[in-house]
């Protein structure tokens, strides 16, 4: 069975603002949460100093956005001085949490720095109004770990998250979102064999979607040519460490000029798949430069995820 997400004709739906110092070069990899009848976007932006900051925009239709003129979340110290990246926002029990990658000039670990003399941390922040964010803690330190996303509710009484510890996507549990113990983490799936579209690297996209058939994930992967694509993974509702089904075919890949060419070529990268009135809204960065939207009916995506 083959299946595609449908690009919205209004794409790209958000582009850099040439008049703004902090978002004049790239806006990409947004989170979008639907709350109180509005779409709230938190997006990664880069401007003249090339440091990633998080901008905020709001919309009533998910297409036309009103953006705040200043970033709502910025680097604070050596742990994130090179940027705050790739937000994923979820509401759990009335509090908003943002998982994001902190990229700093310092490396907090015992081995070698992971990124150009510095390192990254899979961070969590919290907010009660989606605008003011308070940093919490990283899930782990001292390793190349990102693409972390929280499940929207506790599972068997505990908070749960997915994270990417190469080469696998891992599941992790925590009682309080602060303490993440090694013994509460397990790998769940990794890249497939050579020549598959997901043979080199895999990671999670937006917040897992709860369905009667399991936790529905849209995931991303790249191959030997570094082309990013999306697929689906279905995890057991009670035990999300158990993969029920994984799509053989991808559902989305770069085709438009602004996905094939930009700051980084051949990239579609999504941190958001909110479901509104039975439609899945997949927001994504195109070539690390602009923001696009692709949609599909939730029921069709479930059928595909169960059978492909």
* Extended beta strands in 18-68, E state: 26-35, 38-46, 53-59, 66-67
Give yes or no for a cis peptide into 284 (omega within 30° of 0): no
In this chain, which of 288, 289, 294, 302 binds ligand BMA, going by CB under 6 A? 288
Q: Which is nearer to ligand BMA, 118 or 285 (CB)?
A: 285
Which residues, numbered 141-170, are part of the site for ligand BMA (CB under 6 A)? none
Per-residue burial over 177-216, b = 16 or more CB atoms within 10 Å of its CB, e = otherwise: beebeeeebeebbebbeeeebbebbbbbbbbbbebeebbb
* Residues 156, 158, 164, 165, CA torsion sign: negative
Q: Which is nearer to ligand BMA, 172 or 267 (CB)?
A: 267
Q: Please give the Cα distance from 4 to 274 (Å, whole number).
A: 17
29 binds ligand BMA (CB under 6 A): yes
Q: Which is nearer to ligand BMA, 174 or 204 (CB)?
A: 204
In this chain, which of 72, 267, 280, 296 binds ligand BMA, going by CB under 6 A? 267
85 binds ligand BMA (CB under 6 A): yes
In this chain, which of 244, 264, 276, 306 binds ligand BMA, going by CB under 6 A? 264
Which residues, numbered 268-287, are part of the site for ligand BMA (CB under 6 A)? 269, 285
Q: Residue 33 CB, nearest distance to ligand BMA (Å)? A: 19
259 binds ligand BMA (CB under 6 A): no
Q: Which is nearer to ligand BMA, 27 or 161 (CB)?
A: 27
Q: Looking at 7-15, 158-166, 238-246, 263-271, which segment touches ligand BMA (CB under 6 A)?
A: 263-271
Q: Which is nearer to ligand BMA, 244 or 264 (CB)?
A: 264
Up-side HSE of residue 193: CA atoms within 13 Å toward CB? 1
Q: Residue 86 CB, nearest distance to ligand BMA (Å)? A: 5
> Using H for helix, E for strand and C for coil, what is the string for 166-194?
CCEEEEEEECCCCCCCHHHEEEEECCCCC
Q: Residue 29 CB, nearest distance to ligand BMA (Å)? A: 5
Residues 222/229, Cβ–Cβ less than 8 Å = yes
Question: Which residue carries 């989305």 as its tokens?
Answer: 252
The three-point CA angle 243-90-175 to 5° equals 70
204 binds ligand BMA (CB under 6 A): no
**Binding site residues, ligand BMA, CB under 6 A:** 29, 85-86, 264, 267, 269, 285, 288
């Amino acid at each position: 069975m083959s299946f595609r997400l449908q690009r919205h004709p209004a794409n790209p739906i958000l582009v850099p603002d040439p008049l703004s110092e902090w978002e004049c070069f790239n806006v990409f990899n947004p989170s979008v949460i639907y709350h109180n009848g509005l779409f709230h976007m938190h997006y990664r932006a880069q401007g003249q100093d090339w440091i990633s900051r998080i901008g905020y925009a709001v919309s009533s239709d998910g297409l036309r956005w009103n953006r705040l003129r200043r970033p709502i979340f910025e680097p604070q110290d050596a742990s994130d001085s090179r940027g705050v990246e790739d937000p994923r926002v979820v509401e759990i029990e009335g509090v908003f949490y943002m998982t994001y990658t902190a990229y700093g000039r310092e490396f907090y670990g015992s081995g070698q720095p992971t990124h150009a003399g510095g390192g990254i941390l899979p961070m969590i922040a919290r907010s009660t109004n989606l605008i003011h964010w308070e940093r919490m803690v990283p899930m782990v330190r001292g390793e190349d770990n990102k693409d972390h996303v929280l499940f929207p509710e506790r599972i068997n009484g505990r908070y749960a998250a997915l994270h990417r510890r190469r080469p696998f996507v891992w599941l992790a549990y925590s009682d309080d979102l602060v303490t993440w113990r090694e013994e509460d983490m397990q790998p769940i799936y990794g890249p497939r064999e050579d020549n598959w579209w997901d043979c080199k690297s895999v990671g999670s996209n937006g917040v897992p979607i709860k369905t009667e058939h399991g936790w529905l994930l849209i995931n991303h992967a790249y191959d030997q040519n570094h082309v990013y694509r999306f697929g689906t993974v279905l995890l057991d509702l009670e035990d999300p460490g158990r993969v029920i089904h994984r799509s053989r075919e991808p559902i989305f890949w770069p085709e438009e000029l602004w996905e094939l060419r930009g700051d980084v070529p051949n990239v579609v990268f999504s941190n958001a798949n909110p479901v509104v009135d039975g439609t899945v809204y997949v927001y994504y960065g195109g070539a690390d430069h602009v923001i696009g939207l692709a949609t599909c009916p939730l029921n069709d995506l479930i059928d595909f995820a169960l059978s492909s």
